[in-house]
Amino acid sequence: MNKSDTHLLEIQNLSACYGKEKTVLSHLFLNLAAHETVGLIGLNGAGKTTLFRVLSGLLPSFRADGIFFDGHCVKFRDKAFKTCRYTVFAEDNSFQYFTFGEYLSYVFASYGQKPWDVTELIKGFHFEDHAHVLLKDLSTGNRKKVFLITAFALKPKLLLLDEPVNGLDFQSTEYLYQLISGYKDYGTVLFSSHILESITLTSDRVIVLENGEIRQTFERGQINASDIRKALHNENNV
């Protein structure tokens, strides 16, 4: 089944739950345009991480009326979809016995690509001194850099970043903002954050998530910190 429109990813009526009782996402309609940067914001427990887990094919307990990628009906666990997206999780302790270089090589091989020069990304994130250290011996922030460098080196069509700013130092955060803003040349970014600045500085569109549903969307030109803050306060009062 094909669907021809300009959306890179279109998800219709998505609901997800943990177990039988705990519904985290309900009746969620999400459209991501090609070459767009979308910020996702919401209070704790709003369903941001669950959405990333569903998109990454990690949560089987979900249902949706339709999932379309590049106009084609897909499943999140299809290899074809997997090779078009990469996720940086809020917390990731995987492959602890690889060094950064080995992890990069492993991921590129998994995506069927050849690793290329990532010197600029390494310098941008000030990661030069840690490239040969096993991931388990890195600090939380440096481990986050491993996955961020890999993500931006891989340049997938769809980049999913779950709270990418957490744990990063000031300089790396600034560099990350630049990378997110410039990613439109390669593909689409969906990223979540609790830092309003990161959302307002980089996003073309901001989605406010509340109790697993999209409460409000701010389009380009409407994005400003005070309105988003207001929306979040309202959510809190609800």
Partner 1 sequence: MPQISERHCTMKIMFKPFMKKLFGVKYERLSRTLLIDLILFWGLSISGFRTKIAPAVFSLTVSVFTGGVMWQALSSRDNTDDLQNMLMLPFDRRKMVFSYITALGAYTFLTKTALLLAVLLAVSNWGFPGLLTGLLCGIYGILAAAALFSLNRYRYVDGLRIAALTAAIVLSADHPWFLPVILAGCLSSFPVLLYADGYSFASCEKAGRHRRALAPVTGTGMHHRRHSMLRYLLRYLSARKNYLANTGFMWGIACVLPLFFRQMESLAVIPVGFAILSLNTPLCILLSCDPALEQAVRFLPGQERAFCLPYCAFIFLCNLAADSLFLTSWQLLAGGVPFLMFVTALFFALASAVCSVLLEWFLPVRNWKIESDLWHHPRKYIVPAVMLLAAGIIGAMLWG
Binding residues (CB under 8 A) for partner 1: these are 56-58, 79, 82-83, 87, 89, 92-107, 109-112, 115, 119, 122, 127-134, 136-139
Decide whether 134 or 214 has the Cβ nearer to partner 1. 134
Decide whether 168 or 206 has the Cβ nearer to partner 1. 168
Q: How far is the CB of 111 from partner 1 (least distance, A)?
A: 6
Q: How far is the CB of 67 from partner 1 (least distance, A)?
A: 16
Decide whether 106 or 186 has the Cβ nearer to partner 1. 106
CA distance 164 to 207: 16
Tokens representing 144 are 């986050």
Decide whether 97 or 220 has the Cβ nearer to partner 1. 97
Q: How far is the CB of 85 from partner 1 (least distance, A)?
A: 9
Q: How far is the CB of 63 from partner 1 (least distance, A)?
A: 19
Tokens representing 220 are 């380009």
Tokens representing 102 are 């080995």
Asked if residues 188 and 9 have their Cβ atoms less than 8 Å apart, the reply is yes
Helices 170-182 + 140-154 axis angle, to 10? 20
Decide whether 54 or 232 has the Cβ nearer to partner 1. 54
DSSP code per residue over 22-77: EEEEEEEEEEEETT-EEEEE--TTSSHHHHHHHHTT---SEE-SEEEETTEE--TT
What is the helix (H) or strand (E) element at residue 212, kind and residue range?
none
CA distance 111 to 105: 10
Residue 2 DSSP label: B
Decide whether 98 or 177 has the Cβ nearer to partner 1. 98
Q: How far is the CB of 229 from partner 1 (least distance, A)?
A: 32
Q: How far is the CB of 209 from partner 1 (least distance, A)?
A: 21
Decide whether 43 or 134 has the Cβ nearer to partner 1. 134
Q: How far is the CB of 169 from partner 1 (least distance, A)?
A: 17
Q: Residue 155 pairs with which residues in a beta bridge?
A: none
Give 71-76's long-range contacts (Cβ < 8 A, gap of 24+).
71/2, 71/3, 71/4, 71/5, 71/7, 72/1, 72/2, 72/3, 73/1, 73/2, 73/3
